[in-house]
Amino acid sequence: MNNFIVMQGHTYQEEKELGIIWSPQQDKGGNIQHSWQRMKEVQKGDRIFNYVKGLLVAISVANDNYQNAPKPSIMQNHSKWNDEGYLVNLEYHELVVPLNVRESFNEILPFLPIKYSAFQQNGDGNQGYLYPCNEELAIKLLDLISDVNIYQVDQEQLELSIDNVRRTERNTLVPVIAETESEVKTKIRLGQQKFRKYLTPLWDQKCALCSIDLPELLRASHSKPWKDSTNEERLDPYNGVLLCCNHDALYDKGLITFDGQGRLHISSVICHEDYLMYGLKPMTKIKIHSENKVYFRWHKKNIYKIV
């Protein structure tokens, strides 16, 4: 199961009425957008967060894989698009309380991918139609949606709120959220287990920097984070390095990095006086595999903090 965010705007009511999402294959000038091409990735069972004018208003489930389909007659007024397009049949589950993305953006921002993000850095939606939604972002959106849509009963309110409880029980959104969250968390857990299994031997079962070899203190650290990686890159054991808890946290936050030769770089965020406390030795060079290089360079360019 994969997740997506669809930016519907003025087409939402038309598409909801038909139980679909639809995009053209190209515009009148023959131009092709990545957000239209992404429709071809949608498969039966995938979840789609519906975004309309700053709000997440529904969670939809794909009833089948995408298909080539002409523009629906109800959408003929959108003349700037060609008639040939991509269509996915959806089951819409509207939120009782839409989620205001900008109001929750500080919580959402850390999970946005560097490339092909549905949202700009100020919280506005990007131009385009269908965007990927990585599993970590999906979990955060589900948490935020649950906070405002799933009624929490306490003992004092029980008798006065029985109608609200019944409405919640009948709301199809509740099982969709629960099932989606369960599937997403399972996908992450199994992926991380497989990643660690094949990465650990590459580093002789010890931290690449300090040689700690206690398994409970070791972490399989992604160089290109889960949110930015393809499915293949997420499981590629060369997309990472084995580090102890301390060095894993520094690497994850971009306070240390490695270049294509395996040489350690320490962010200026960390004072020289603190190197010993963090177990860091300038100019340390770790033994790497050639397949690590492209991922280390990506981390140094995109994650490493230079002040």
* 10 within domain boundaries: yes
pTM of the model: 0.87
Structural domain for 250, as ranges: 204-302
| Cα–chain center distance at 240 | 19
Same domain, 28 and 134: yes
* 10-residue stretch averages of pLDDT, the chain, 307 residues long: 94 94 89 94 97 97 96 76 91 94 96 96 94 97 90 47 48 86 95 97 97 97 97 97 98 97 96 95 94 97 93
Pick from 39, 159, 156, 33: which is nearest to 87 by CA? Answer: 39
Same domain, 220 and 74: no
CB-based contacts of 189-196 (< 8 A; 24+ apart in sequence): 191/226, 191/234, 191/235, 192/220, 194/235, 195/220, 195/222, 195/234, 195/235, 195/237, 195/240, 196/220
pLDDT of residue 35: 96
The residue out of 157, 174, 189 marking a domain boundary is 157
Structure token digits, residue 290? 């050639």
pLDDT of residue 144: 95
- Contacts of residue 248, Cβ cutoff 8 Å, sequence gap at least 6: 219, 221
* 197 within domain boundaries: no
Phi, psi of 181 (to 5 degrees): -60, -40
pLDDT of residue 163: 52
Structure token digits, residue 73? 């007659």
Structure token digits, residue 239? 């997309």
Same domain, 45 and 133: yes
Same domain, 111 and 212: no
* 127 within domain boundaries: yes
Pick from 257, 239, 236: which is nearest to 248 by CA? Answer: 257
What total number of domains does the chain contain?
2
Give the residues across from 241 on adjacent strands: 221
The residue out of 157, 190, 213 marking a domain boundary is 157
* 173 within domain boundaries: no
SS (H, E, C) the chain: CCEEEEECHHHHHHHHHHCEEEEECCECCCCCCHHHHHHHHCCCCCEEEEEECCEEEEEEEECCCCEEEECCHHHCCCCCECCEEEEEEEEEEEEEEEEECHHHHHHHHHHCCCCCCCECCCCCECCCCEEECCHHHHHHHHHHHHHHHCCCCCHHHCCCCHHHHHHHHHCCHHHHHHHHHHHHHHHHHHHHHHHHHHHHHHHCCCCCCCCCCCHHHEEEEECCCHHHCCHHHHHCCCCEEEEEHHHHHHHHCCCEEECCCCEEEECCCCCHHHCCCCCCCCCCECCCCHHHHHHHHHHHHHCCCCC
pLDDT of residue 246: 97
